[in-house]
Amino acid sequence: MSEATPKFKITIDGHTVEVDPGTTILNAARLLGGDSVPPAMCYYTSLKGSGGKCRTCLVEVSKGSEKDPRPMPKLVASCSTTVMDGMEIKNKSSQRVLDARSGVVEMLLINHPLDCPICDQAGECHLQDLAYEHGKSNTRYEFERRTFEKLDIGEYIKLHMTRCILCYRCVYTANQLTDKREHGVLKRGDAAEIGTFIENNLTNDFIGNVIDVCPVGALTDKTFRFRSRVWYTKPMDVHRDCPTCSGKAVAWMIGDEVARVTARKDQFGEVKEFICNDCRFHKKEKSDWTIEGPRHIDRTSVISANHYELEIPKHTPLLNKA
């Protein structure tokens, strides 16, 4: 028997947790849960290489480690900084972090259309949630916003770059699903866009998962788009015997009708088991599925505002005002 590897003891906003060496600050915070968890718009556990880009997860390291207690001079991206033994981290207890985060949110919103009421993602959009919690109540941006034409990428997926926050999650998803590079980022800076290069169709059996990893309404399901607001649908945990994937999914029902199928997301909005296109786009009959029961939506999200038990965020709804 090998000896158990020693654990690292770290503190986030005064709460202590022991984690394995190599754990990131974000994942340590997720073990603690609650207010310790920084928001993450680009990191995605199952996507290799993801993280570091959106900068919403910045935290302050007020003590580097037991051995070298010096604080880190800059805020660090918690999703891509690993813990050291004795590290002390400030998330919500640091004004610097809160300021930087509201700064990042402001940046993410300056070129984002403020038209949540007509966006298909409204209600399950991480940016919307983030803006409720960290956004300022008015915009200081007085210039024309960046806009793009909507694109069909493949038979089932719509890309609306105007809403994209360039988190690269869909890029990593596509890259990690296939050997071919057929989906990536073109151009640079704020002209950068997600693209399939010469309007390729994305055809991989699992490509539908780019919809689930997208934190905003940039990638949406053409078989569902605008059929209903999500909060009028009832999410049910369902499964089926699928030869391609696990067959474990969520069916979003309107009455007896399956309006949409997605993979199951955890409380941090991440899919642990990706589902195949067949389950997602073709199994739209109630009889296709075995229903397990109503899905519990953990995230404090705008979805909860309508028919879930969680508390509604109290801040002024920024986006609906615009």
To 5 degrees, how large is the angle CA 124–CA 126–CA 132?
100
Give the residue among 268, 266, 272, 303 at the shortest CA–CA distance from 36.
268
Report the site for ligand SF4 in 145-204 (rule: CB under 6 A). 164-170, 194
Give the residue among 84, 86, 80 at the shortest CA–CA distance from 38.
80
How many chain residues are in contact with another protein, going by CB under 8 A?
Answer: 33
Report the site for ligand SF4 in 202-261 (rule: CB under 6 A). 213-216, 218-219
Give the residue among 220, 230, 217, 221 at the shortest CA–CA distance from 162.
217
Residue 47, SS3 per DSSP: coil
Ranges of H-type helices in 179-276:
209-213
Report the site for another protein in 43-82 (rule: CB under 8 A). 51-56, 58, 74-75, 77, 80
Longest dimension (CA), the chain: 64
Token pair belonging to 50: 């993801």
Does 103 bind another protein (CB under 8 A)? Our answer is yes
Nearer to ligand FES, 57 or 131 (CB): 57
Minimal distance, residue 120 CB to ligand SF4, in Å: 12
Q: Tell me the C-alpha distance between 240 and 238, whole Å.
A: 7
Residues at the contact surface with ligand FES, assessed by CB under 6 A: 40-43, 51-57, 77, 79
Report the site for another protein in 110-129 (rule: CB under 8 A). 110-111
Give the residue among 275, 258, 288, 116 at the shortest CA–CA distance from 210.
275
Give the contact letters, 189-228, x = binds to another protein (CB under 8 A), - = no.
Answer: xxxx------------------------------------
Q: Report what 132 binds from ligand SF4, another protein, ligand FES, none; CB cut-off 5-8 Å by kind.
A: none
**Quick one: which of 19, 125, 153, 165 contacts another protein (CB under 8 A)?**
165
Nearer to ligand SF4, 122 or 213 (CB): 213
Q: Tell me the C-alpha distance between 281 and 262, whole Å.
A: 9
Burial tier of 93 (Cβ tally within 10 Å: 0-12, 13-18, 19+): middle
**Quick one: which of 31, 114, 115, 141 contacts another protein (CB under 8 A)?**
141
Q: Report what 67 binds from another protein, ligand FES, ligand SF4, none; CB cut-off 5-8 Å by kind.
A: none
Nearer to another protein, 186 or 254 (CB): 186
Give the β-pairing of 257-262 and 234-239. Answer: unpaired
Residues that bind another protein (CB under 8 A): 51-56, 58, 74-75, 77, 80, 100, 103-104, 106-108, 110-111, 140-141, 143, 165-166, 168, 184-185, 187-192
Residues that bind ligand SF4 (CB under 6 A): 164-170, 194, 213-216, 218-219
